[in-house]
Amino acid sequence: MDKNQLEALKNLLSSPQKVVIIPHKNPDGDAIGSTLGLALYLEKLGHSCHVIAPNDYPKFLKWMPTEERIIKYDQTMKHAIDLINDATLIFTLDFNHLSRIGAMGEDVEEAKAPCVMIDHHQQPADYATYMYSDTTMSSTCEMVYHFINMLGDIKLIDQNIASCLYTGIMTDTGSFKFASTTGTTHRVAAALLDTGIDGFKIHSKIADTNSTNRMKLLGCALKNLVVLEDYKTAFISLSKEELNAHDFKKGDTEGFVNYGLSLEGIVFAVIFIEDLQDNFIKLSLRSKGDFSVNQFARNHFNGGGHDNAAGGRSDHTMEATIEKFKAILPDYKTQLYEAYED
What pLDDT is attached to residue 277?
A: 86
Pairing of strands 89-93, 115-119: parallel
What pLDDT is attached to residue 342?
A: 79
CATH architecture of 212-341: Roll (3.10)
Positions of CATH 3.90.1640.10 in the chain: 3-173+180-207
pLDDT at 1 over 90: no
Q: Contact, 271 vs 221, CB < 8 A?
A: yes
pLDDT digits (tens, 9 = 90+) for 172-181: 999 998 889 9
pLDDT digits (tens, 9 = 90+) for 155-175: 999 999 999 999 999 999 999
Beta-carbon count within 10 A of 77 CB: 14
pLDDT digits (tens, 9 = 90+) for 313-324: 999 999 999 999
pLDDT digits (tens, 9 = 90+) for 193-229: 999 999 999 999 999 999 999 999 999 999 999 999 9
Model confidence band, residue 278 (pLDDT cutoffs 50, 70, 90): confident
pLDDT at 341 over 90: no
Model confidence band, residue 273 (pLDDT cutoffs 50, 70, 90): very high
| CATH class of the domain whose range is 3-173+180-207 | alpha beta
Positions of CATH 3.10.310.30 in the chain: 212-341
pTM of this structure: 0.90
What pLDDT is attached to residue 185?
A: 98
Beta-carbon count within 10 A of 342 CB: 10
